[in-house]
Every structure is written in structure tokens, then in C-alpha cells.
Amino acid sequence: MARGAVIVVAELARRLWRYAWPSTTGRRNRAYLRDRLVALPLLAVVAFGSLGWAYADVRDDSAYLRERLTPALVGLAHVKASLFIAQGEAQKNLDTAGASELGGLSERYRTRVARATQSLNQVTRSGALTVAEEQELRVVSALVVDYTGWIGRAQGHANDAVLRDAELTYARSMLCSAPVAAADRQDRYPPCPPTTGSGATSIVDRVAALERQLRERLADRAAWGEGVLAAASVAGIAFVLLAVGLWRTVSFLRRRFRIRLSIPLAAAALPLLAVPLLTVDALLAQHAQTETVPLAGLLAERTSPETETIAEEHPFDSPDPEVIEVLESRIDEVLSDGRLAFLDGAAPFVLPAGLVGAGLVGGALHAYRREYLVVARPGAVS
């Protein structure tokens, strides 16, 4: 049965090849041009249509990563770092009995809480979240408001060590589901162990879950899709057949019709010159997307309040490569350099260019087929 299927496929391929590239030997001019009139415009539409779809998909993925997904990941990283810094500042301020009542919490605390709130709003407006994720982010925003309320209560009881510590501990529990380990109690920014499942109810747990979802989406967008690979393969085969077909048709016209240059066919072949540029641009964009995946991993897992605090306190020193702004700049640079800028906006015109080329080829061959007076070589079939 398998052998029979192979024979059938081989026969179909042979017939298709004979139809796509008929021999000029013993063929009438009108018959040959009639076959070309069908095959070449069809190949042009298939080639440019497949290329246009694959190219637009890759370019859209790059734009989505650059304009929506990575800014959302940067915003979530800022939320986590800012809240941990705010917690450390509140703990330090309130440990000094009475100081917070007189002067209030530090400017850094207020700045970091405001930055966390602003980052949450920016992530919501980024367009990278689904409806369910937006609702989850609104829950996080409400929890942040509640968290600052408990810090305010602790400030109000700054001179009462028992109430102050209890309220600070509860505020800390709103950041992390797991309690602070004994070994980490002296740490200004104690780590927050990840919690999953039904126990993941704290602010950081929820933000980390959103980060995981966005990173999975980023990895999915950055990978070669099956549809893109299939369309690129079809486009590659169709372009080869189209280029060879145009060359053979021009050769046929030169031998049979003594037409040294067919202007319509030459014009129809011009869009083929853009195919290498579009291919290089798509490969650059895909490579840039792949390089973004590990950078997003660093953004979610390696940034810390310690590095952010050091960068804030020493702005003129060389920044740590794991600072959020440094990683954000690297991601923007990778995605911006991963394309040929002069081809921005070219994707919608790929298919129309193929349709115009198909129309030129079809119109020219139809006109040649209607010619009655043919100047041919002696003995040529007319």
C-alpha cells in the first residue's frame, strides 16, 4: 500500500512538473504561452502571498515584544523591587523609635511605593495582558493600597514595639506568603520564597505568576511557528519556480518571437529583487526575538532590591548588568537592531506587489498569445 502511495505521489509530481515547466519542443506558441499564462501568475500570487504572511507574522511578533510584552515584564520587575525596597525602608525607619512619628517615613519609601503603583498602571495599559490577567493585576493594585495602609498603621504605633512589629509583620505577609526565615531576619531585604498553587495569594506571588505567564508568551512568540515555517517553505519553492519560469519564458520569447526584452515581464521580475532583503530582515527579527528570551529570564529572576538600591545610591558608578534599567536597555537595543529599519511598514505591500506582478505577467502573455504574425527561426513551430 505504501509503495502504491509513493507511485501515485510521484506521478502527480511528474504531471505537475510537466504542467509547470512544459517543454518548448514541438509546442505551438499559443499553447505554450497559454500554459505560462496560468502557471506564472499563480506562482507569483502563491510566492508573494506566503512570503507576505510569514514576514508580517515575524514583524508583528517583534513589534509585540518591543512595544507590549517586554515593557510589561519591566514594569512587573519594578513592582517587585520597589515594594521590597519600600518594606526595607519602612522597617529601618520604624526601628528608630519615635523618628517616624516626627519626620514620617523616608522619601525613598514614598518614592518606591509611588513607583510600584505607577508601574502597575503602566503594565495594565501595556496591552500585553489578557482580561483575566488585567483583573489579577487590579487585585494586586488593591493589595498594594492595603499594604501601605498597614505600614501607615505601624507608623502610627511607632513607639509601641508590640503593635508596630505585629503590623509590620502583617504587612510583610502581604508581600510574601512564606514567613521570613530566621537566618534572613537581619537582612534588610529578606528573600521571598516562591509559592505556587492555592497558597500563592501574596502580592509578590501574584506578580511572579503574571511574570511566568508573560515569559511563556514571549518564548512562544520568539520561537519559529509551524505556520511561519510552512509558509516560508512554500514561498521559497514558489519563488524558485517563478524565477526559473520567468527566465525560461523570456528565453522562449527571444527564440520564437525575436523579443529581446519584454518590458512587462522585466517589470514583473523587479519585486523579486526585494525578496532577499525581506528574508534577511525576517531572519534578523527572529534572531533578536530569540535573544530576548534569556534577557527576560534575567529580568524576572536575577534582579533584586539590593542591586536597585546600590544603583540608586551610586548613580555615577558603572551599573550592575542585572539592574532593571540596564536589562531594559539591552532588550530595547536587541529588538531595535534586529531589523532593517527602512523596511518598517513594508509587510502590507508584499502581497499587492505580487498581485501587480501577476497581472503584468498575465497581461503580457495574453497579448503575445494573440499575436498572429510570428517571426521565428526557420523550421520553428508556430
| Domain layout of the chain by residue ranges | 28-369
Confidence of residue 296 (pLDDT cuts 50, 70, 90): very high
Q: 354: helix, coil or strand?
A: helix
CA dist list (Å): 150 to 156, 157, 222: 10, 11, 42
Q: Compute the average pLDDT of residues 30-48.
A: 86
Q: Residue 327: which residues within 8 A CB-CB, separation 6 or more?
A: 74, 77, 295, 298, 299, 303, 321
The identity of residue 144, as a single letter, is V
- Give the residue, 141 or 96, on which the prediction is more confident: 141
Quick one: pLDDT band at residue 267, thresholds 50, 70, 90?
Answer: very high
- What pLDDT does 318 receive? 82
Is residue 90 within 8 Å of residue 171, measured between CB atoms?
A: yes
Is the model's pLDDT at 371 over the cut of 50? yes
* pLDDT above 60 (res 381): no
Has residue 247 got a pLDDT over 80? yes
Specify the range with the lowest mean pLDDT, choosing from 155-164, 201-210, 263-272.
155-164
The answer to whether residue 369 scores a pLDDT higher than 80 is no
Exposure class string for 193-205: b at 16+ Cβ within 10 A, else e: eebeeeeeebbbb
Residue type, 273: L
Residue 98 has pLDDT above 60, yes or no: no
The mean per-residue pLDDT over the stretch 349-353 comes to 95
Is pLDDT larger for residue 381 or for residue 291? 291
- Range with top average pLDDT, 25-29, 96-100, 288-292: 288-292
Residue of 251, 269, 270, 248 whose CA lies nearest to 260: 251
The whole-number pLDDT of residue 44 equals 94
Rounded to two decimals, the pTM is 0.85
pLDDT at 147: 93
Segment 191-208, tens digit of pLDDT: 776 665 555 678 999 999
**Residue from 231, 204, 317, 191 nearest 55 by CA:** 231
